Amino acid sequence: MPELPEVETVKRGLAPAMEGARFDKVELNRPNLRFPFPPNFAARLKNCTINSVARRAKYLILHLDSDDVLVMHLGMSGSFYVENKNSPPAKSDARTRITAHDHVIFHLSGANGEHLVTYNDPRRFGFMDLIAAENLSSHKFFAKLGIEPTGNSLDGKCLARLLANRKAPLKAALLDQKLIAGLGNIYVCEALWQAGLAPTRISHTISTSGAKARANAIALADAVRDVIARAIAAGGSSLNDHRQTDGTPGYFQHEFNVYNRENEPCRKSHCSGHIKRIVQSGRSTYYCDSCQK
């Protein structure tokens, strides 16, 4: 499943072809993805210009000059493929995926040329919607989303405040989208390992009784921002078949320090522990019980 760093990578891959470009035509090869497309979807996009390509949590957000916002979610297996109409890709870059799963094709023209942007999604858990710009922040997708884990606003002070009085284990609190938006299972495991905190630890123990940050709240906030920033820099990571928007086999699965490393030695220097796997709320948690306290 694409996690936040993948979605950020997709956003950066789409921006050169889409930002400032106009929809010349939109081809829909089926009536729905996870949900039906909104009424008159193709017609409402046609001739609109995309003012900006942004991301919030795992949603791609394209502001249009029609005052509609095109919201897209990759679900479990969605990916985009960008082709420049006037310069076909080198043979080695030719796409290898099954085009039967190409569900939406955007024909775009803009300052960077004419592009085809194709949305492919074998499992069809992704979706696209059009939302009036003025209703975006109050829309059910966005109204309750927590803070972004990418910016500097997520610091120790903020995290201590968010987790004060919470009795849930740290792992569950970090996965709560109402607290932090878009943080997924893999990166929560990695951040807890990096910060040396046990996933089972009670959340409020990183805050003082006055909801101030203890040292480990600062370490955890730093670790969350760091694992996300490094994954984005590495081009995202995913356990599924993803590819970069130019069609090259992307989303290379970068090395994780704990995720999927059950029984392997801990990589912290001076730690002789081994990685354990437990199940929390139905999801696998990987951690080292020697150095994560």
- Site residues (vs Zn ion, CB under 5 A): 266, 268, 271, 273, 288, 290-291
**Residue 58 annotated in active site:** yes
Nearest to 57 by CA among 36, 35, 72: 72
In terms of CB distance, is 41 or 193 closer to Zn ion? 193
> Among 94, 111, 147, 117, which Cα is nearest to 11's?
117
Candidate list 44, 58, 261, 276, residue with the active-site label: 58
- What's the min distance (Å) between Cβ of 262 and Zn ion? 13
Residues 163/217, Cβ–Cβ less than 8 Å: yes
Burial 31-65 (b: 16+ CB within 10 A, else e): eebeeebbeebeebbeebebbebebbbbbbbbbbe
- Cα separation, 118 vs 132, in Å, equals 24
CB of 261 to Zn ion, least distance (A): 11
Contact criterion met (CB below 8 Å) for 236 and 8: yes
Residue 220 Cβ vs Zn ion, minimum distance, rounded to whole Å: 16
Nearer to Zn ion, 127 or 193 (CB): 193
The one catalytic residue among 3, 6, 83, 190: 3
Q: How far is the CB of 293 from Zn ion (least distance, A)?
A: 10
Whether 283 is a known active-site residue: answer yes
Strands 50-56 and 22-28: unpaired
Give whichever of 112 and 257 is closer to Zn ion, judged by the CB atom. 257
Looking at beta carbons only, is 133 or 271 nearer to Zn ion?
271
So which residues are the catalytic ones? 2-3, 58, 283
